[in-house]
Amino acid sequence: MSDPNPPATPSPDLVLVTGGSGFLGAHCVLALLQAGYRVRTTIRTPARAADVRAQLAAGGIDDPGDRLEFAIADLTSDDGWVDAAAGCRFVLHVASPFPTTQPKDPDELIVPARDGALRVLRAARDAGVERVVLTSSFAAIGYGHAPTDRPFTEEDWTDLDSGRPVSAYVQSKTIAERAAWRFVREEGGALELATVNPVGILGPVLGPDFSSSVELVRLVKEGRLPRLPDVHFGVVDARDVAALHLLAMTRPEAAGQRFLAIAGDVMSAQEVALLIRGHLGEAAGRRVSTRLMPMWMLKAAAPFSRRVRDSLPDIGTVRRATSEKAIAVLGWSPRPREEAVIATVDTLPTYHPRRR
């Protein structure tokens, strides 16, 4: 497990985390508080403050006291970002739209992801922030390419001009990260930038807001997928992604760098189902299906399900990646992928996903 070298005593440094009520955002807030930092997190409405506090309590911090504060800001508006960044030494820009289904209009994701990142970077620069760590994604690295057995690295970029199908989410993460690097290069002044590019994020579920990766585990666990798509994906624990954010935030050698986050090799949906079934035991695991859905069945269902249509380009495709850079440069040490899956399974019974 990663050790972000937390300070021995509470730090006077104030860190802004955007999207602290989200799945990864809450884990980042939790990791920062555990490391002794003061944290300000953005929420879209005052009511979401209770959601953040509830997730922190689920993670073991019942009362952060005056080390936690809130700022009202939204990626789609300029309002609030100046105040949110004021007095902060670092910014973790975690907030980004991630729907369970792809929108008909890609701009519904691209515009808030790109413009939101630029709003945060602009406010950080103007506030004299030292470094921003942007949560990007493997989506900005491994898509739009011809099939390959070579593991993708931080040197790769998703190719949006190849003619190969890429989802609106993949487009949004690629365009937003490229826009961020361009802004820092051309307008950032002394502002430093690092990015973290995780694969599918699993791990302890702290509240009702979680990723589509967690949603897949929930559907498998509850037996809602009688047949599984032949898809493969990387897995990483949210706690380790949060730890990597702290390392990228504080280590001098992280400035100007991208860091892929994956634990080991990719997993298939069938491997995930077999792991879940074995963990649940004979009685509870009986409802977990491990049968694959044949391609003819997927194609037959595609006209009636947008989710199935969106998944077709990924059927049978294996995109491998490596975290050698994060391990070698920053000393990052992720949990095994199996531990991330089991942590998700064990924390899901209490929660149900919030529909957006």
Active site residues: 173
Please state, in angstroms and rounded to a whole number, the distance separating the CA atoms of residues 331 and 2. 8
What is the DSSP code (8-state) at residue 316? T
Residue whose entry in the numeric block shows the structure tokens 């706690």: 239
- Return the beta strands (E) in the chain as ranges: 14-18, 38-43, 68-72, 90-93, 131-135, 192-198, 200-202, 232-233, 235-237, 258-261, 267-268
In one-letter notation, the amino acid at residue 211 is S
> 184 and 71 in contact (C-beta within 8 Å)?
no
Q: Please list, in sequence order, all residues whose beta carbon lies within 8 angstroms of the beta carbon of residue 349, skipping any fewer than 6 positions away.
A: none
- Return the beta strands (E) in 38-93 as ranges: 38-43, 68-72, 90-93
Distances in Å between the Cα of 325 and the Cα atoms of 40, 56, 170, 181, 245 are: 29, 30, 22, 19, 14
In one-letter notation, the amino acid at residue 252 is P
